[in-house]
A and B are shown apart, each in its own frame.
Chain A
Amino acid sequence: MNRNNLRARLPYLLTAAVLAVLTIVFLLSRRPVGSTDSSEPAGRIYVSEAAERAAAEAQAKIREARQSAAAASAEAASSGTPASSGTPAASDPAASPSADPGPDVPSETASVPPASSEAELLLASLREQVRTLDIALFSPEELASWRRRFDNAVFIGDSLSQAFISYGFFDEDHVKYKRSASISQLDDQIQAAIDRLPDTVIFFTGLNDVSFFINDPTQYYEAYLEKVNQVHSALPNAQIFVISLLPCSDALAASDYHLARSPEFDAQLKRLDPSSPARYLDCHWLVRQELYLDDGIHFTESFYTLLIQYLALETGL
């Protein structure tokens, strides 16, 4: 009877044994081999301070090399010797079969000392354009060259800065904005701008702050000062500019008591010039009633076309 019993159960036992063996083999096969998976997502997460410094150093070195190359080629050009290529400045002779001789040596550095008369001419032409409102927009080629000149600049601001992107002048890498934000709410944008290690930082904010600091315009100045110093301490070599607080349109000012007070705030902004590393850029002369959008706060593409040219003039880009 026992034997019978056993025989009857044999298939079950065998199945169980096979399953047990398979289970053991399977469990052994997936025994963890020193867990290496970290839960962090791929890619870079944050940039350490040391890495930031290293990047800044590398940027400084490259700029130096470029400047000395430009100087060398300018020297060669003035002394009349046909410099075969930019090689004398290249720190390593390994880069010998260079495909291009001098001509493409960075135009930005070559154009650094512009004849002052040229600048005056441009300024005069800008004034003329503002006066006649006959404003020439950029051709694609001009736009490309403006972008190249502003490549090492970053704008920080609110919707006024955003317009640089909306009108297609610059991309997100060069404009860090937050719509309807006060200067005191732009910390993320300022950090993002600093991360790009720009040579030039331009603040361009608008009337949001008038309502934000309505009780005390001096707080506006203090908030701005703090941000400017923040940028300056992170990027001691960068030049910092603050574009003047432009008023709203006359029509809007007539109906909005708050916004009509914007000149008080602009006066506070002007105080930055003597007391901080930033330079205040007075752009009021670019404003014409015709250059406002319908909301009376924002400006047209033509206005920005002029603004960019004026900024380039003032910043030396």
Chain B
Amino acid sequence: MKESRSRKRGSRLYYRILGGIFALLFLVFFVLNLVLPDRTLSVREKRMLSGFPAPQIDRVLAGDYSGDFEDYASDQIPFREFFTDLKVFADSLVGRNESQGVYRGRDGRLIEKMETPDDAVVSRTVSAMRRFAGLFPLPQQLILVPNAVSILADELPLWAPTADQHEFSESIAAQLEGSGIGFKDLETALLTAGLDGIPLYYRTDHHWTTDAALACAPAVLKTLGRSFTGKGSLLPVTHDFSGSLSAKSGLSMRERDTISVWQPDEEPVCLVTDSAGKRAGLYSWDGLNSSDPYTVFLGGNEGLVRVETDRIGAGRLLVFKDSYFNCFLPFLTAEFETIDVVDPRYYSGDLLMLMRQNEYDQILYFYNINTFAADTSLALVLGEAAEQEGGQ
């Protein structure tokens, strides 16, 4: 009797405490949400956080407002980083090793998975390139860099589903046949380099390393009709690089990568012009101290960067590229007088005017396969120029 009563009392206390804590949690977070100021930038995730959505009647009626508000609430929740860590930790306990399209491979290496490419998107890009090549019959090459997901397939988690990059690049080669656009897939060069034990990809980032770029430089320059002398050395500039894959997935947050840069023995005089002004030299060293040290290569996301060197008469090159090209650029500077680097994702200028203003000798398309397979901006930029030219 007595025992059961005390037990009853005990359990009543237990439920009280439980309920109390539960209610308290709500209250505490409610108050914290009100009191703490909104943050705008997540340094760790390398993105802007959503701000408070001003209620607009049309969005409320369309039913979008609650979605906006949810984004805001989840971006601005107090201790956000703690909770994302908690989720990743809980996931790892139950054996999940994929988050936001990123796999955690053997010994913690992060590998971005490749989505199955949309044939319509890809063929639009390729036909835009063909049309552009028809209007500007310059020597031109497409160079595709395979990603870690195919080169380091051994390190993927067992049976991780992903698209086949080798097959993809073969289909691109077939589609470019007879267009006057040369095609080069760096798969062999990278696989060979991998056998030599060269680290090809960052462990926490989706980019290839400068080591890998160096290993591919002879092949690329040969495609461009140049030769690579290879006199220089790789200089590690930071050991504290936590890359975008880590940021995106929340996995391997404690891993740090090393970024190296290529230092040629005989550095050409080199002037880089981008939206922020002009600077001398191949690298923007300020980038190393920013939240994204990869910006040491070519700065941040720029639509058009012009690189001028003192190799007068060595030719003028136009490059359409994604960020894989950023660390490759230094291998080209000794071989060209001017290199104009266009990233179609951020380019808002007039491509046709650019073509007319500068008599380019050569065009280079330089993409990693993941980006090329999903990219829509290249087709847009090329198509716009082709339309203007064709319309006249």
Which A residues are within 8 Å of any B CB, using their own CB? 1, 8, 22, 25-26, 29-30, 33-34, 36-47, 51, 54-55, 57-59, 61-62, 65-66, 68-69, 85-87, 89-92, 94-95, 97-100, 102, 104-105, 140-141, 143-145, 147-148, 151, 171, 173, 192, 195-197
Contact = CB atoms under 8 A, between A and B. Distances in A.
Interface string B251-281: 0011010000000001011110101111111
Interface in B192-206: none
A99 B361 contact: yes
Nearest to B316: A104
A42 B278 contact: no
Nearest to B355: A144
12 contacts: A26-B85, A30-B253, A34-B240, A38-B289, A86-B314, A94-B229, A94-B334, A100-B315, A144-B357, A192-B277, A195-B277, A196-B278
B24 interface: no
Given A1-B3, A30-B85, A43-B290, A95 B276 contact: no
Contacts of A22: 93
B315 A98 contact: yes
Contacts of B358: 148
Contacts of B326: none
A29 B300 CA distance: 31
Main secondary structure of the interface of B (DSSP, over half): loop
Contacts of A89: 312-313
Contact of A41 (B41, B268, B273, B316): B41
A42 B290 CA distance: 5
A44 B284 contact: yes
Contacts of B300: 42-44
Contacts of B266: 92, 94
A172 B271 CA distance: 20
A90 B313 contact: yes
A90 B311 contact: yes
B308 interface: yes
A41 B299 CA distance: 12
A19 B52 CA distance: 35
B359 A104 contact: yes
Given A55-B279, A99-B225, A197-B278, 16 more contacts: A33-B256, A34-B240, A42-B295, A43-B290, A43-B301, A57-B280, A58-B269, A58-B281, A59-B278, A90-B314, A100-B313, A100-B361, A140-B353, A147-B357, A196-B277, A196-B278
A236 B160 CA distance: 62
A141 B256 contact: no
Contact of B89 (A26, A92, A148): A26
A105 B313 contact: yes
A87 B310 CA distance: 12
- Of residues B270, B295, B310, B334, which shows the largest number of chain A Cβ atoms within 10 Å of its Cβ? B310
B208 to A, nearest CB: 19
A71 to B, nearest CB: 11
A91 B268 CA distance: 9
